Homo-oligomer: A and B are copies of this chain.
Amino acid sequence: MVHSTPRAATGDPAHADPAAHEFDRDTALVPRGDATFDAVISGGWSVLGAVNGGYLKALLGRALSRTLPHPHPCTATAHYLSAPTPGPAVLRATVLRTGRTLSTGTVSLHQTGSDGAEVERVRMTATHGDLAALTDHVGTSATPPAVAPYDRCLALDAAGAPGALTDTPIVERLASRLDPDSVGWALGNPSGRGRMAGWFAFADGREPDPLSLLLVGDAMPPAAFDLGVVGWTPTVELTTHVRALPQPGPLCVVTATRNPAGGFLEEDAEIWDSAGRLVAQSRQLARMPRTAAG
């Protein structure tokens, strides 16, 4: 696995053709009309054998972008109902309300179960807007996190992750890096702070956009790993606020949990773009692995 610094979008002729990038191919939709779409869930974005929730969210987000009059998810919440499998899926979107600057819709992803019956996998409701039309006002008081530069952070394979992360092909799709301070879990020495910091980038150089930010919030190793809880933390619900159009380049991502309790934990993610703008905030509720839930 080769992790080079991701290519800049400028001058990348592939950038103009969505089908040239893995993320866009794997979230492609075939419209049936009536706000119904066919898709194929890729097996390439899985983590510990489970289809990544952020990837699924982007797939549902694309269906809403094609259905609502406003292009960008401003706030999107997905509830994960049953475990999807790679293969065919049907997405059905419904418009709930359209306004001048915002519109809201809901979308469900279904698959045919082993008994031939249709099963709902994910339900998402989102309010869309046009991030290019927002005011220039930036009153952000949050400060960008202290993370080592991309070139001094560690690729997941270099961090020794493969030993812990079997059946996790998503790492091959990403050129993500972890801060040296966040890799202790992979060496059996987690910091105990419940914090994961690093950089997100697509391995094939695709640049970030609002749709891909729905993936980014769920694409770092779980913050629970830094608590010594290395196992699958299935997402119950994931909400993403996309607050600005991201600039090209790797995204700085910090995830943290402050309330692992009762068998569940929240995980917050902050996503900063190359211009130092806080472009997205996400929070999920996840289950702790059973062995760690006490």
Contacts and interface: CB of A to CB of B under 8 A. Distances in A.
B127 A236 contact: yes
Contacts of A283: 239, 241, 281, 283
A75 interface: yes
A87 interface: no
A243 B136 CA distance: 37
Nearest to A285: B75
Interface string A253-289: 0000111111110100000000000100101010010
A79 B77 CA distance: 10
A159 interface: no
A220 to B, nearest CB: 18
Contact of A79 (B104, B123, B261): B104
A137 B141 CA distance: 34
Interface residues of A, number: 50
B258 A293 contact: no
Contacts of A209: none
Given A120-B97, A263-B137, A77 B243 contact: no
Contacts of A127: 79, 236-237, 285
Given A104-B123, A120-B97, A125-B123, A263 B135 contact: yes
A96 interface: yes
Contacts of A81: 96-97, 104
Interface in A121-151: 123, 125, 127, 131, 134-142
Interface in A84-118: 96-97, 102, 104, 106
A261 B285 contact: no
B239 A262 contact: no
21 contacts: A74-B236, A77-B77, A79-B125, A81-B104, A82-B97, A106-B106, A123-B125, A127-B236, A127-B237, A134-B264, A135-B263, A138-B262, A139-B261, A140-B258, A140-B260, A141-B194, A141-B258, A142-B258, A237-B239, A239-B239, A261-B278
